[in-house]
């Protein structure tokens, strides 16, 4: 966990004087208009954060209306030597959208439209600032939905989801963003507006841009694949004695070749916070709850539920209940997706880790997480995408207690190391951002990273798109900053 | 293995046994300025242009080990030279599969299939091969061995370079290892076959496209009788593949029969045994050649709207005295078109003339299979992508000396 030390004065290249800042802002205003450029320090300061990290103070925050605006912004930033950082809703948890001092943040708040919807071809073209859930809502009437559904989906944007290759509970059945993005329009480092598509001849640049965390280009439109709403959907809740037991059941369900559309585990700590907040009917006495969604033809859903319930009981499920109405089903999902937000009730601060392991390693991984947290003197809550082996331990702490933040940083790192040891990796859906860049070398060796850097050089020679992200600082970027964390109360996962 | 491409034959053929040997070999070629073409099962080498230079063929079939298979994780890692049949067998033993759907699985390799960017008919249901690749290891032209991704089904750790290698036709690096996520095999499968009387095709396609229970694949086949059905093959038929639970397949079949009945097609024959091999025969037809007197194209279109594409092929073929056979993929919009002449002697002249019109009307069509003698006539890339400059830059970074199949890819990359 690398978080900015607020006691240290911000470091800014010597060329970025106050006068240069003013000049930069004036040029932006001239290009896209006063209403598209935020210059006041109090406005800019709020863009120094995402949902977890704190970055620098941007020289300007811009709100383009279209790709032409984005192109102009990139050209001006380039000629002024300013880093460019794209930003969706700022719900990220690893610093992917926080700017360096003196940079320009491109907010897509005004580019939030559905540009085209083709029911026959089951695709839509959307602007990056469109909220994820809004897309599903907009196509629901025609019987479609958008597959990836990060828990932040009410606010997080399709653009941000694209940058982080977001997943969510339903990635288990439908895959992460990269399986749903069919093409992109983006602005390159020269300010050129380019289009790439899976339908085009040549290299799959679309797939390479998804998950690149804004370091290769600034995406201005996204072609997405839409899915047909299944004819029947059922959400079931099973109670288990503990997380490990629930994880065993998940491994068994997956290994048995059963195909529910979501498999989520919520432990007692989180269930209690969630129930106090949402009252959606999760069993309070369970050590862990398994949320299972099954979708398909009605008769199949019936049959699959019986089988999955059977496997769950064999693996220690204490109870099994299925939501009978759409309302009950929605309530269960709402509380699952709002879980982190409910945590404010039980802990002043929390830190959400994101890591993945091969699915059979889940029980082992959850045990390791518990041991690590205990060793660091922290309480841990678990709410995660079990079907995908995607862990989200929440380390609960109180930053006012001296030493707790350091303990969290320590535990966070150890959890990643443990997951790597189990054959996993350090991010399943949140990305590397600035928080995990120093951990990336635990997963990839120098040759791997150098090969990735070749791609970076094709798109962004000067490393001005979202600099200091993904790649470890190495010799280039100076010291790792550590110390005080800025943890907001209502973060997502 | 015949390693001639067009009129070009390499000076040497090497067959490394592992990634390290391959990397050394590539490095040596790169240093010596020798152009390299990578070979798997040699089933899709007709894709792309004949390379501008070609000195060394590297046969990757020696990299044939299954590296990691943890069935309970629903993942598998294999070397690039593993055949699709071997991959299928390893997975089927545990009730799993990866929907790659490429022709000639006993010959085709995993690395070659990925590099070819192959897209099969079941992708509308399950996704593209690229969506199942969770990690790769490649050997670059300079001998660097580099990995991306990993063995987890979700992963956002560094760039997803695997996407670049899939569909790169061996111009960026050699895929020495591919990690897949797998799917459980469907509970049951069935192929429904209906003969389409004259004038029922369009209605049949429209009705099948509107089915509530969507088939895993739906193909309208004209010709290819000897390839798919043996002697008894009928011209003009629809093959519908259902996969899922037996009860849903049963319901799907009833709905299909009534949809086809409404289109004026009275009878539907069901294949419930050896469905996999029946479906594999259809896929094999995609690259099946009639001696040296046929060429096969794939043209991408819009789902349920393959008619205009077939019509364009038909017009071009008719005026050149070429016979046309087609497979229309209702769910993906692909059209497979095989043109042939009765005599090999006349084929070269006719196909050259056909190509003139094909380039105009169907610039995005790709050659899947053709005799080496006419390869040079078939210009593969008439549809340069808008981001071609970025692709050139990419090639320049990954293979600065142009060692890997120079000139084969779009824009002469």
User: Domain residues of chain B, as ranges?
Assistant: 1-185+384-413, 188-281, 294-375
Examine residue A334 and state whether it is found in any structural domain, yes or no: yes
Q: Note whether A202 contacts B409, CB cutoff 8 Å.
A: yes
Q: Please name which of B365, B312, B363 lies closest in space to residue B334, comparing C-alpha atoms.
A: B365
User: According to DSSP H, which parts of A175-223 are helical?
Assistant: 205-209
Statement: residue A477 has pLDDT above 80 = no
Q: Within the 66-85 window of chain A, which residues sit less than 8 Å (CB to CB) from chain B?
A: none
Give the per-residue pLDDT at A52: 85
Statement: residue B10 has pLDDT above 90 = yes
The label of the residue with tokens 């535990």 reads: A411
Q: Within the 171-230 window of chain A, which residues sit less than 8 Å (CB to CB) from chain B?
A: 171, 175-176, 178-179, 188, 194-208, 210-213, 228
Statement: residue B47 has pLDDT above 70 = yes
Cα A449 to Cα A329, A437, B55, B142: the distances in Å are 44, 11, 31, 16
Mutation target for B interface from A197, A431, A451: give the one with most B CBs within 10 A.
A451
Q: Which residues of chain B does A197 touch, with a Cβ-Cβ cutoff of 8 Å?
A: 385
Examine residue A31 and state whether it is found in any structural domain, yes or no: no
Statement: residue A298 has pLDDT above 90 = yes
Is there a common fold for B1-185+384-413 and B294-375? no
Give the per-residue pLDDT at A16: 87
Q: In 3-state terms, what secondary structure has residue A9?
A: coil
Closest chain A residue to the Cα of B413, Cα to Cα:
A202
User: How many domains does chain A contain in total?
Assistant: 1
| Whether domain B1-185+384-413 has CATH 3.30.9.10 | no
Calculate the CA dihedral of residues B263, B199, B313, B241 and round it to 10 degrees: 30
Q: Which residues of chain B does A200 touch, with a Cβ-Cβ cutoff of 8 Å?
A: 383, 385-387
- Domain region containing A237: 232-341
Please tell me the distance from the alpha carbon of residue A184 to that of residue A196, in angstroms, as a whole number.
Answer: 5
Instruction: Give per-residue pLDDT as tens, A348-369.
Output: 999 999 999 999 999 999 999 9
Buried b (16+ CB within 10 A) or exposed e, B115-146: bbbbbbbbbbbbbbbbbbbbbbbbbbbbbbbb
Q: What DSSP element (H or E) covers B309?
A: helix B307-319
Q: Within the 322-361 window of chain A, which residues sit less than 8 Å (CB to CB) from chain B?
A: 356-360
Q: Which residues of chain B does A390 touch, with a Cβ-Cβ cutoff of 8 Å?
A: 152, 154
The neighbour count for residue B274, using CB atoms within 10 Å, is 12
Span between the terminal Cα atoms of chain B, in Å: 26
Tokens of A220: 């201005």
Q: Note whether B150 contacts A443, CB cutoff 8 Å.
A: yes
The per-residue DSSP string of B263-298 comes to: TT----EEE-SSHHHHHHHHHHHTT---TTSEEEEE
Q: What is the DSSP letter of B185?
A: P
Mutation target for A interface from B127, B156, B333, B387: give the one with most A CBs within 10 A.
B156
Q: Which residues of chain A does B71 touch, with a Cβ-Cβ cutoff of 8 Å?
A: 255
Q: Which residues of chain B does A448 touch, with a Cβ-Cβ cutoff of 8 Å?
A: 146-148, 158
Give the per-residue pLDDT at A10: 53
Q: Which CATH architecture has domain B188-281?
A: 2-Layer Sandwich (3.30)
Q: Is B250 on the interface with A (CB under 8 A)?
A: no
In contact, B348 and B339? CB cutoff 8 Å: no
Out of A176, A204, A251, closest to residue B167 by CB: A204
Average pLDDT over residues A282-311: 96
Q: Please name which of A68, A65, A55 lies closest in space to residue A104, comparing C-alpha atoms.
A: A55
Q: Is B412 on the interface with A (CB under 8 A)?
A: no
Q: Which residues of chain A does B394 touch, with a Cβ-Cβ cutoff of 8 Å?
A: 203, 205, 455, 458
Q: Note whether B160 contacts A164, CB cutoff 8 Å.
A: no
Give the per-residue pLDDT at A3: 42
Buried b (16+ CB within 10 A) or exposed e, A312-323: beebbbeebbbb
Instruction: Give per-residue pLDDT as tens, A233-271.
Output: 999 999 999 999 999 999 899 888 899 999 999 999 999
Statement: residue A483 has pLDDT above 80 = no
CB pairs under 8 A between A and B: 215
Q: Note whether B390 contacts A429, CB cutoff 8 Å.
A: no
Q: Is B153 on the interface with A (CB under 8 A)?
A: yes
Give the per-residue pLDDT at B234: 55
Examine residue A333 and state whether it is found in any structural domain, yes or no: yes
Examine residue A23 and state whether it is found in any structural domain, yes or no: no
In contact, B56 and B14? CB cutoff 8 Å: yes
In contact, A128 and A157? CB cutoff 8 Å: yes
Q: Which residues of chain B does A121 touch, with a Cβ-Cβ cutoff of 8 Å?
A: 302-303
Examine residue A429 and state whether it is found in any structural domain, yes or no: no
Average pLDDT over residues A152-158: 96
Please tell me the distance from the alpha carbon of residue B357 to that of residue B308, in angstroms, as a whole number.
Answer: 15
Q: Is A314 on the interface with B (CB under 8 A)?
A: no
Q: Within the 15-74 window of chain B, which residues sit less than 8 Å (CB to CB) from chain A?
A: 70-74
Count the residues in chain A: 493
Q: Is A253 on the interface with B (CB under 8 A)?
A: no
Q: Which residues of chain B does A428 touch, with a Cβ-Cβ cutoff of 8 Å?
A: 152, 154-156
Q: Note whether A257 contacts B157, CB cutoff 8 Å.
A: no
**pTM of this prediction exceeds 0.90:** yes
Average pLDDT over residues A484-491: 35
Q: Is B386 on the interface with A (CB under 8 A)?
A: yes
Out of A122, A429, A454, closest to residue B156 by CB: A429
Out of A179, A228, A259, closest to residue B131 by CB: A179
Please tell me the distance from the alpha carbon of residue B213 to that of residue B197, in angstroms, as a whole number.
Answer: 24
Give the class (CATH, top level) of B294-375: alpha beta
Closest chain A residue to the Cα of B131, Cα to Cα:
A179
Q: Is A36 on the interface with B (CB under 8 A)?
A: no
Statement: residue A81 has pLDDT above 80 = yes
Mean pLDDT of chain A: 92
Q: Which residues of chain B does A213 touch, with a Cβ-Cβ cutoff of 8 Å?
A: 156
Q: What DSSP element (H or E) covers B324?
A: strand B323-329
Q: Which residues of chain A does B156 touch, with a Cβ-Cβ cutoff of 8 Å?
A: 164-165, 176, 211, 213, 427-432
Examine residue A287 and state whether it is found in any structural domain, yes or no: yes
Pairing of strands A104-107, A84-87: parallel
Please tell me the distance from the alpha carbon of residue A358 to that of residue A424, in angstroms, as a whole number.
Answer: 6
Statement: residue A486 has pLDDT above 80 = no
In Å, how far is A38's CA from the nearest CA of chain B?
32
In contact, B129 and B165? CB cutoff 8 Å: no
In contact, A383 and A336? CB cutoff 8 Å: yes
Positive or negative, the Cα torsion across A137, A142, A146, A150? positive
Query: Can you point out the beta strands (E) in A213-347?
Result: 218-225, 227-228, 232-240, 262-267, 288-296, 319-322
Q: Within the 228-247 window of chain A, which residues sit less than 8 Å (CB to CB) from chain B?
A: 228, 231
Statement: residue A301 has pLDDT above 60 = yes
Cα B388 to Cα B119, B312, B337, B400: the distances in Å are 22, 27, 27, 16
Q: Is A446 on the interface with B (CB under 8 A)?
A: no
Instruction: Give per-residue pLDDT as tens, B377-402.
Output: 887 898 899 999 999 999 999 999 99
Give the per-residue pLDDT at A4: 40
In Å, how far is A365's CA from the nearest CA of chain B?
13
CATH number where A319 lies: 3.30.70.2190
Q: Which residues of chain A does B331 touch, with a Cβ-Cβ cutoff of 8 Å?
A: none
Please tell me the distance from the alpha carbon of residue A185 to that of residue A168, in angstroms, as a whole number.
Answer: 24
Q: Is B247 on the interface with A (CB under 8 A)?
A: yes
Q: Which residues of chain A does B398 touch, with a Cβ-Cβ cutoff of 8 Å?
A: 454
Mean pLDDT of chain B: 95
Examine residue A310 and state whether it is found in any structural domain, yes or no: yes
Q: Within the 278-307 window of chain A, which residues sit less than 8 Å (CB to CB) from chain B?
A: 296-297, 299-300, 303
Q: Is A417 on the interface with B (CB under 8 A)?
A: no
Q: Please name which of A16, A60, A363 lies closest in space to residue B73, comparing C-alpha atoms.
A: A363
Q: Note whether A299 contacts B388, CB cutoff 8 Å.
A: no
Please tell me the distance from the alpha carbon of residue B196 to that of residue B211, in angstroms, as a whole number.
Answer: 18
Q: Note whether B386 contacts A196, CB cutoff 8 Å.
A: yes
In contact, B380 and B368? CB cutoff 8 Å: no
Comparing B66 with A280, which gets the higher pLDDT? B66
Instruction: Give per-residue pLDDT as tens, A104-117.
Output: 999 999 999 999 99
Count the residues in chain B: 413
């Amino acid at each position: 966990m690398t978080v900015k030390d607020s006691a240290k004065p911000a470091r800014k290249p010597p060329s970025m004087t106050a006068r240069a800042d003013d000049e930069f802002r004036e040029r932006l205003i001239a290009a896209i208009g006063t209403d598209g450029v935020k210059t006041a320090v109090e406005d800019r300061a709020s863009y120094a954060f995402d949902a977890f990290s704190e970055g620098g103070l941007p020289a300007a925050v811009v709100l383009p209306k279209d790709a032409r605006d984005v192109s102009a912004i990139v050209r001006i930033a380039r000629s002024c030597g300013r880093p460019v950082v794209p930003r969706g809703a700022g719900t990220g948890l690893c610093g992917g959208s926080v700017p360096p001092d003196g940079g320009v943040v491109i907010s897509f708040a005004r580019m939030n439209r559905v540009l085209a919807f083709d029911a026959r071809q089951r695709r839509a073209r959307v602007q990056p600032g469109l909220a994820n859930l809004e897309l599903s809502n907009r196509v629901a009437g025609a019987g479609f939905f958008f597959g990836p559904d990060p828990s932040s989906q009410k606010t997080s944007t399709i653009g941000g989801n694209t940058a982080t290759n977001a997943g969510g509970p339903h990635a288990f059945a439908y895959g992460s963003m990269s399986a749903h993005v069919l093409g992109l329009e983006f602005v390159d480092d020269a300010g050129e507006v380019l289009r790439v598509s899976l339908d085009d001849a040549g290299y799959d640049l679309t797939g390479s841009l998804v998950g690149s965390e804004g370091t290769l280009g600034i995406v201005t439109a996204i072609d997405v694949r839409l899915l047909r709403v299944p004819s029947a959907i059922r959400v079931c809740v099973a109670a288990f004695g503990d997380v490990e037991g629930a994880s065993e059941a998940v491994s068994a369900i997956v290994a048995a070749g059963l195909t529910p559309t979501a498999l989520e585990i919520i432990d007692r700590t989180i269930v209690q916070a969630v129930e106090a907040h949402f009252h959606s009917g999760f069993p309070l006495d369970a050590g862990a709850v398994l949320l299972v969604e099954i979708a398909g033809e009605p008769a199949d859903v019936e049959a699959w539920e019986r089988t999955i319930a059977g496997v769950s009981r064999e693996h220690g499920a204490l109870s099994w209940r299925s939501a009978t109405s759409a309302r009950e089903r929605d309530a269960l999902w709402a509380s699952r997706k709002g879980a982190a937000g409910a945590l404010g009730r039980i802990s002043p601060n929390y830190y959400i880790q994101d890591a993945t392991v091969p699915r059979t390693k889940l029980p082992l991984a959850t045990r390791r997480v518990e041991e690590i947290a205990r060793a660091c003197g922290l309480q841990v809550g678990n709410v995660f995408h079990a079907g995908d082996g995607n862990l989200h331990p929440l380390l609960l702490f109180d930053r006012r207690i001296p030493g707790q933040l350091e303990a969290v940083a320590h535990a966070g790192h150890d959890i990643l190391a443990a997951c790597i040891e189990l054959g996993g990796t350090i991010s399943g859906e949140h990305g590397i951002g600035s928080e995990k860049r120093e951990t990336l070398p635990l997963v990839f060796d120098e040759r791997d990273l150098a090969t990735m850097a070749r791609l970076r050089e094709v798109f962004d020679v000067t490393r001005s798109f979202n600099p200091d992200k993904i790649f470890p600082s190495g010799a280039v970027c100076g010291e790792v900053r550590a110390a005080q964390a800025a943890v907001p109360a209502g973060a997502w996962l | 293995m015949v390693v001639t491409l067009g009129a070009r034959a390499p000076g040497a053929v090497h067959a490394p046994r592992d990634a390290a040997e391959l990397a050394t070999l590539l490095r040596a070629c790169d240093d010596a300025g020798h152009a390299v073409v990578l070979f798997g099962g040699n089933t899709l080498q007709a894709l792309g242009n004949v390379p501008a230079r070609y000195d060394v063929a590297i046969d990757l079939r020696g990299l044939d080990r299954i590296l990691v298979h943890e069935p309970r994780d629903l993942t598998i890692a294999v070397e690039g030279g593993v055949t699709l049949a071997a991959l299928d067998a390893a997975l089927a033993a545990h009730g799993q599969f990866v929907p790659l759907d490429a022709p000639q699985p006993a010959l085709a390799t995993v690395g070659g299939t990925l590099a070819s960017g192959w897209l099969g008919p079941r992708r509308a249901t399950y996704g593209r091969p690229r969506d199942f690749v969770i990690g790769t290891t490649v050997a670059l032209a300079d001998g660097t061995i580099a990995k991306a991704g990993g063995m987890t089904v979700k992963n956002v750790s560094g760039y997803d370079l695997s996407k670049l290698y899939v569909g790169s036709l061996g111009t960026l690096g050699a895929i020495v290892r591919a990690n897949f996520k797998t799917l459980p095999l469907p509970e049951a499968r069935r192929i429904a076959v209906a003969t389409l009387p004259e004038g029922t095709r369009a209605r049949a396609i429209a009705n099948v496209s509107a089915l509530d229970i969507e088939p895993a694949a739906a193909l309208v086949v004209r010709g290819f009788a000897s390839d798919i059905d043996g002697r008894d093959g009928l011209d003009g038929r629809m093959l519908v593949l259902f996969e899922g639970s037996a009860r849903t397949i049963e319901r799907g079949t009833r709905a299909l029969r009534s949809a086809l009945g409404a289109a004026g097609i009275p009878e539907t024959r069901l294949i419930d045994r050896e469905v996999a091999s029946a479906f594999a025969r259809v896929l094999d037809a995609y690259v099946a050649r009639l001696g040296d007197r046929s060429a096969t194209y794939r043209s991408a279109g819009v789902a349920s709207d393959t008619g205009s594409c077939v019509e364009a092929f038909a017009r071009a073929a008719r005026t050149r005295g070429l016979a046309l056979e087609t497979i229309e993929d209702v769910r993906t919009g692909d059209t497979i078109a095989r043109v042939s002449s009765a005599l090999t002697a006349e084929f070269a002249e006719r196909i050259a003339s056909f190509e003139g019109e094909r380039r105009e009307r169907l610039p995005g069509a790709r050659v899947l299979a053709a005799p080496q003698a006419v390869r040079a006539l078939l210009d593969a890339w008439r549809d340069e992508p808008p981001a071609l400059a970025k692709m050139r830059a990419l090639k320049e970074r990954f293979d600065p000396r142009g060692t890997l199949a120079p000139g084969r890819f779009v824009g002469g990359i």
